[in-house]
Structures are given as C-alpha cells and as structure tokens.
Amino acid sequence: RKDFIVDEYQVYEARAWGADAILLICAILNNEQLKHLLHVAHDQRMHCLVEVHSAEEARRAVAAGAQIIGVNSRDLVTFRMNPYLMRELRYTIPADRVVVAESGIHSAADARRLARYDVHAMLVGESQVKSQDIPGQMRSLLEGANQSAQVKICGLRTQVHLNAATEAGADMLGLMFYEPSHRYIEPAQVKMLLEDTRFSSSPGDEQAAPDLVGVFVNKEADFINEVVEQVGLHFVQLHGNEPPDFCQFIKRPVIKALQLADNKDYGLVKAYQEAAWRILLDTPSSAWGGTGTTHNWDLARSVVQDSPIILAGGLAPENVAEAISRVRPWGVDVSSGVETNKTKDVAKIQAFIKNVRMSAAIH
C-alpha cells in the first residue's frame, strides 16, 4: 500500500485488502510512530519500505529497525530532484539492509548510475507511465542496471578532456594524484577545472555528473582524506602496496588495484574483498600505476566468479568489447588506450565508451 500511513488502522486495513507491504515515509513520522508501525506491520507478516530523503532520516530508519530502505531523490516539499542523493546516503546504510532507489529513473544511464552504488532495487513509476514503449523502456533500464559495464576514464588533466569524457557518457573520471606520473594533476588545479565543467551542476539538475575517483600510491590516510574533501572525490583508488586494513581509514569507498600474475595470487584478492569496495585488476609491473599492457583475461575471468572487478591493463577502443565478452567485469578502466602521444584523444574516448555500450546491447 503506497499511501501516507500514519495510523496502525491503515496497516490492518491494508492487510485486510491483501497487501503484502506498506510504505512508511520518515518525513511524516516521528521515531515512536515509525517504530510502532514497523512493529504492527511485521506482526501482520508484512514488509515495510521505509522512505528517506536525508542522512538524518536514513539514520532514524536504521535505528527504528527498518530492513528495506528507499532513498527518494525527489524533495517532497519542492519536488526538485537530487540525482546525487543516493551517492551521499548509500554507504551510511548498513550492508545488511535492502536499499531501493526511488524517483528520477528514466534512462539506462540512470539505472547504471544507481547500480554503481549497489542498490538492490529501483522503484520506477513516472517514466513508465509516460513512455510510448513500456517494454522497450523496461528493457533499457534492465540493460543499464545489469548488463552494461561501468566505464572509468583515468588520467584526465584538462577541462576539454573532462568534458569530453562526461559528454560521451563515462561513469567515473580518474584523477591521478601520484606525482611521478606524467598524468599527475595538483588538487588545487582540479578544483579550478571542475568549476568550469559539468561538475558545477547543482543538486536540482535532473542529469547527474560522473563520479570522481582519486588515484593515490602509498600516501598517508590523512593526506588522502584531505584531498577527498578539497576536491570533492566520491571514490578513492589505492594503487600501491597499502594493506587491507588501511582501507578503513579512508573516508570514501575504496577501489584497490591489484596486479595478479597467476592463480597463486587469488589469496590477495580475497584479503581485500571485505576491506575494499571494488577490486581493480591490472597487469603486473615493477612500476606503480597503469602499465598499458593487456591483462591475462582468463585469469581475470576466474576472479570475476567470486568478486565484481574493474578490468584494467591494455584496454582500448579496439579490444574492450572482446574483453567484456570474455571476462564479464563489473567495470573497465582505461588511460593510455584513449591517448595519442601520451595525451588524451577525444575521438578515442568517444569510441571506447561507445564500444562498451554496444557490447551490453549485444550480450
């Protein structure tokens, strides 16, 4: 029953009508009401979708014992959309709760973005009602959520290339904070660049910008967290020999890059599975950072069986579709593969992302 439920009578009424679940909106219930209605519903063997619109409401829902939490990106007062809300709230909600994305889900890009934040379900209404092709719309959303690999374009240093990757549909943009790399960019410079790109968009915008990933090599946690706040990073990629327990000190979800040489390195993956948000598999090298050399795809495929991974190493527009077909990674990461003479190439960025999306349609 999707309604403004404020009294237990409405719960009993819904059950009598045959409802299996009810909607409870945190914004219109105090803590005592929320706990009581959850108890009444569970006593009737009903599920509750508890809807939240802020970090405080998410905290209240968790404290009340809600097992299914819906994050509604539409403000109930202004009706403005905040496509960034799930990103802001998702990792404040315990991993054992079911998380549902609500509102503003119109395209495959929307579904792919929400899947990136590990949501378990998406509540879609308005876009289906307005669609002239409901089956086609549903196929598009399912493809975006379940089939299309996430795309990370790494080593971006200029406004032109940041905009090009964004407009081409990249999901994540990588910024290199490793000084020895020729792709290194100073945090202060990043902040200035972002002010003149799509990242200056406000929470009221319907279209969300890609996520920013900062790449670090063997830096102190305090330094990383300082850059996180200064730049506004959404994820942190660790590309050095940081131990698994180091991840807990980072204030953003961690992508841990690992260089696997053979099956004997599986233990390394398992050691980081619990600590890191995602594992990135790169080609073994004596140097830190990307190698530009193609990874052992058969080895990577065997790792995918146990863990969603981001595949890196030697990917380019010409081979990324084959890599996705053979490995079935959660995401793909590219830097040198979309460069010409060590400089990002707009045409290659566009071709790379296009080929990733086409691979989803084929498979």
Q: What is the tens place of the pLDDT at every residue in 194-203?
A: 876 665 544 4
Q: How far apart are CA 124 and CA 112, in angstroms?
A: 14
Give me the catalytic one of 26, 48, 154, 247.
154
Q: How far apart are CA 327 and CA 254, in angstroms?
A: 22
pLDDT for res 204: 45
Q: How far apart are CA 88 and CA 107, in angstroms?
A: 21
Q: How far apart are CA 338 and CA 346, in angstroms?
A: 8
DSSP string of 230-274?
III-SEEEE-S---GGGGGGSSS-EEEEEE--SGGGHHHHHHHHT
Q: How far apart are CA 309 and CA 28, in angstroms?
A: 40
Q: How far apart are CA 53 and CA 55, in angstroms?
A: 7
Render pLDDT for 127-184 as a digit per residue (tens, 0 to 9). 888 888 989 989 889 988 887 899 999 999 999 999 999 999 999 999 999 999 999 9
Q: The domain 8-146: what is its CATH number? A: 3.20.20.70
Alpha-helical regions (H) of 67-133: 85-89, 108-116, 126-130
Q: Class of the 150-362 domain?
A: alpha beta
C-beta separation of 173 from 166 below 8 A: yes
pLDDT for res 304: 82
C-beta separation of 84 from 114 below 8 A: no
Give me the catalytic one of 110, 211, 282, 333.
282
Q: Which residue has the tokens 């792709």?
A: 183
C-beta separation of 50 from 71 below 8 A: no
pLDDT for res 120: 96
User: Hey, do 8-146 and 150-362 end up sharing a CATH topology, with the first three levels equal?
Assistant: yes
Q: Which residues contact 91 (CB under 8 A, 6 or more apart)?
A: 117, 253
pLDDT for res 286: 58
Q: Which residues contact 219 (CB under 8 A, 6 or more apart)?
A: 177, 240
Residue 224, both tokens: 């990383």
Known catalytic residue: 247?
no
**Residue at 209: amino acid letter:** A
* pTM assigned to the model: 0.89
Neighbouring-strand partners of residue 172: 152, 211
pLDDT for res 290: 57
pLDDT for res 361: 59
Single out the residue of 15, 150, 96 nearest to residue 5, CA to CA: 15
Low-confidence ranges of the chain (pLDDT < 70): 196-207, 263-264, 285-293, 295, 361-363
Can you give the residue ranges of every domain in the chain? 8-146, 150-362
